[in-house]
Amino acid sequence: MGALTLRNVTLGYDRHPAVHHLSGEVTPGALLAVVGPNGAGKSTLFRGIVGMLKPLAGTISLHGANARDVAYLPQVADIDRSFPISVFDFVGMGLLRRTGLFGGIGRRERLAIEQALQAVGLTGFEARAIGTLSGGQMQRMLFARLLLQDARIIVLDEPFNAIDAKTSADLLDLVRRWHAEGRTVLAALHDIELVRATFPETLLLAREPVAWGDTADVLTTDNLATARRMCEAFDEHAAACIVDAPSSARAA
């Protein structure tokens, strides 16, 4: 039995599909990259997997898992940085599944929060307002919250986008740690070189599945070209449909 099974899934908004006819199984402990052009439906797929979006057709099965078993990291742009909350309190929200909304934060929980902040290199930032953080610091904070959720399925939407190389390397180490612990990790990514070096399995998506399997078999020149053509058919701004640009061409 897989950690996650998709059966002919179609997802979209206001009955306008953004992901069509996707079927496949994510095995327990998988380290899966989801790759595709801008507008390919990666974020839409992830919202469906974590239960934020109901399929228009088909089914998504977590095989008995519930919301507590899934941790979700949205894109940084989706976080309201103006919300008046400290780094410590924001990270502590990762404990809600353990403490409940009104469970309170005791000595044990405070220690867990401090250890999570230390693990991502944010010791000393506890009292800082989240709106004062840089992009890299913000992403480190989000990963600290994920650590506290202690979930068996972890879904990461563009976790290394627009952050510095040191932060990317540190957070990638955490992803490898989760994989070594047997957790199932799905990550939407643009950096093809990173995917080839780190992720053994890849789903190439362009609103419809192009290929799904071993990364070396999926990320071929032909498949990437097919994904780009499919993107261009949906998106008049074809220049934005980049899936195989070199790392140096992307934001650090």
131-143: burial string, b at 16+ Cβ within 10 Å, e else: eebeebbbbbbbb
Q: Using the 3D structure, point to which of 95, 128, 150 is the last residue of a domain.
A: 150
Secondary structure class of 156 (helix, strand, coil) = strand
Q: 103, 127, 150 — which closes off a domain?
A: 150
Whole-angstrom distance, CA of residue 73 vs CA of residue 142: 7
pTM over 0.85: yes
Question: CA 235, 236, 239, 241: dihedral to nearest 10 degrees?
Answer: 0
CATH code where residue 34 lies: 3.40.50.300
Kindly state whether residues 39 and 121 are assigned to the same domain.
no
Go through the chain and tell me how many residues it has. 252
Q: Answer with the one of 150, 175, 201 that is the final residue of a domain.
A: 150
Query: Is residue 158 classed as helix, strand or coil in its secondary structure?
Result: coil
Phi, psi of 12 (to 5 degrees): -175, -170
Judge whether 71 lies within some domain: no
* 44 three-state secondary structure: helix
Are residues 167 and 54 part of one domain? yes
* pLDDT tens, residue order, the chain (252 aa): 568 999 999 999 888 889 999 999 999 999 999 999 888 999 999 999 999 999 999 999 998 777 778 999 998 777 888 889 999 999 999 998 765 544 567 888 999 999 999 999 999 999 999 999 999 999 999 999 999 999 999 999 999 988 999 999 999 999 999 999 999 999 999 999 999 999 999 999 999 999 999 999 999 999 999 998 887 776 554 333 444 443 333 333
Same domain, 119 and 17: no
Let me know whether 180 and 206 are in one domain.
yes
Are 165 and 105 within one domain? Answer: no
Say if residue 11 is in the same domain as residue 123: no
The answer to whether 146 and 154 are in contact (CB under 8 A) is yes
Burial class (CB in 10 A: 0-12, 13-18, 19+), 13: exposed
Count of structural domains within the chain: 2
Residue 115 token pair: 């250890």
Give me the half-sphere count of Cα atoms (radius 13 Å) on the Cβ side of residue 210.
Answer: 30
